[in-house]
Amino acid sequence: MNIRWMKMMPLMAAFALLFAGCGFGNQNENIEAGMTAVKALDYDTALASFEAAKEAGENERLLYRGEGIAYLGKTQYAEAVTAFETALSCSDGRVDDMDYDVNYYLATAYYKQGETDQALQVYDAIIALKPEERDAYYLRGVIETERGNLEQALADFDMTISLNIRDYDRLIDIYCVLSENGYKESGQAYLQSAMESGTKYMTNFEKGRISYYLGDYENARTYLDKAKEESGYEAVLFLGKTHEELGDYNYAISVYNTFLNDSGEDCPEILNQMGLCKMEMGDYEGALQAFQQAMQVEDNGMMQVLKMNEIVAYEKLGEYKQAAVLLGNYLKTYPDDETAKREYEFLKTR
C-alpha cells in the first residue's frame, strides 16, 4: 500500500471499533469480533465473523464496512469495492460521518486496483458535499502527483494548506509526496514558504523538522536539540537522523541510547531508527537486535516495517535461508508488497 494511504488508514480506522461498539450492547458482537480480528491482521477470522454477523442480522452498514476493510487487508480489492458499495447502499439517505469514512475506504480500494479515475471521482464527490474536507483534497492531490499532473496536484495541496495553514505535519506529507515523485523543488517551496512566513506559531520541533527536510541540518540540529524535552521521542528521532545526515553515526547512536535509557521504555520508532543507523555502520548484528527488540513492543504500529528490516539484516549477515523463510511469512501477511515479491524470488535462488 502506498505510504500516503498507510498514514490515512489509522485516521479512517478510528471508526472501526467506535461504531462497532457504540450503543449497540451485544447486538453486534460478531462485528466487534470481526473488527478485533482486523486489528490483529487476522483477516480470514474477521471475514468469518462478518459472515456470522449477516446470519445473526447485525447492522449491515457496519458489517459490510468491516468486510471491505478485511478484503483490503487481503489485497482482494474487487471484493473490497463491492463490500464498501454495499455498505453505502445501506444508508438511510442522510449523509453522515460513516458515509464519508466508507467512501475514503472505497477510494483506497479503487486506488489499489489501479482504478485512479474512480478514486478521483470518489474524492470529487466528497468535496462536492463537504468543500472543506482537507483529507479529500490531499489524497486527490497525491493521485494527481503520481499521474504527473503537477498543476492539478498543487491546486489541491494549496487548498489543503489554506484550510489549516498551521498543520505542519500535513505540510511535510505534501513535501514527501512531491519529492518522492520527482518534484522535490515544488515540495521544498512549500516548506520554504512556511519558514519565510514566520515561525511564530511553530514549535522548535516543527522548525527543526522542516529544516531537516530542507537539508538545513545545522539549524535542524539546533532546533531539535531544544525540542527534546517538549516533543519526546519524535524530536529525538529527528535529532538522531540529523546527525546521521551530518555523517556522525556514533553520536546519533548515543542520542538514541540516551533516550532509551532515560525513558526506561522500548520506543519502537527509536529502536528501528537505531537499527537502520547500525546497518549504515555495518553492525548488522546490532541492527538485527534493535529491530527484534522493537518487534517485542506490543501494538508497536510498525510491524510491517520492522519485519522487512529484520529480513534485510539477515540478508546482510549472509543468512539467506532464514531471510527467505521470514520473507515467505511476511508475504502471507502483506501480499501486495511487490518489492518483497521480487526479493523473495531472488532469495530462493541463493
At residue 22, does pLDDT exceed 80?
Answer: no
In the chain, the percentage of residues whose pLDDT exceeds 70 is 93
Domain range for 93 is: 1-130
pLDDT at residue 347, as a whole number: 82
pLDDT at residue 228, as a whole number: 87
Q: Are residues 195 and 82 in the same domain?
A: no
| 244 lies in some domain | no
Half-sphere exposure of 15 (CA within 13 A, CB side): 20
What CATH number does the domain containing 61 carry?
A: 1.25.40.10
At residue 329, does pLDDT exceed 80?
Answer: yes
Mean pLDDT of 312-325: 95
Q: Where are the alpha helices (DSSP H) in the chain?
A: 3-20, 29-39, 43-55, 60-73, 77-89, 97-112, 116-129, 134-146, 150-162, 168-180, 184-196, 204-213, 217-245, 249-263, 268-280, 284-295, 303-316, 320-333, 338-347
At residue 204, does pLDDT exceed 60?
Answer: yes
* Chain segment 232-282, per-residue pLDDT in tens: 899 999 999 999 999 999 999 999 999 999 998 899 999 999 999 999 999
H or E element that contains 202: none
pLDDT at residue 24, as a whole number: 45
| pLDDT interval class at 27 (50, 70, 90) | confident
How does DSSP assign 61-124, residue by residue? HHHHHHHHHHHHHTT-HHHHHHHHHHHHHTS-S---HHHHHHHHHHHHHHHHTT-HHHHHHHHH
Measure the CA–CA gap between 346 and 340, rounded to whole angstroms.
Answer: 10
Q: Are residues 75 and 180 in the same domain?
A: no
C-alpha cell at 337: 508488497
Of 170, 201, 232, the last residue of a domain is 201
CA angle 65, 70, 73 (to 5 degrees): 130
**What pTM was estimated for this model as a whole?**
0.86
| 6 lies in some domain | yes
| 227 lies in some domain | no
Q: Are residues 112 and 143 in the same domain?
A: no
Mean pLDDT, the chain, rounded, equals 91
Measure the CA–CA gap between 299 and 22, rounded to whole angstroms.
Answer: 23
Burial class for 245, CB neighbours closer than 10 Å (0-12, 13-18, 19+): middle
What CATH number does the domain containing 144 carry?
A: 1.25.40
Q: Are residues 148 and 122 in the same domain?
A: no
Q: Are residues 139 and 195 in the same domain?
A: yes
Q: Are residues 126 and 137 in the same domain?
A: no
Residue 337 CB contacts under 8 Å (≥ 6 apart), including other chains: 308, 330, 331
Counted domains in the chain: 2
Of 167, 201, 235, the last residue of a domain is 201
Q: Are residues 28 and 126 in the same domain?
A: yes
| 240 lies in some domain | no
At residue 87, does pLDDT exceed 50?
Answer: yes
Q: Are residues 114 and 154 in the same domain?
A: no
| 181 lies in some domain | yes
Q: What is the DSSP code (8-state) at residue 22?
A: S
Measure the CA–CA gap between 184 and 223, rounded to whole angstroms.
Answer: 23
pLDDT at residue 231, as a whole number: 81
Residue 122 CB contacts under 8 Å (≥ 6 apart), including other chains: 103, 104, 106, 107, 110
| 52 lies in some domain | yes
Nearest alpha-carbon partner for 344 in 319, 333, 330, 304: 330
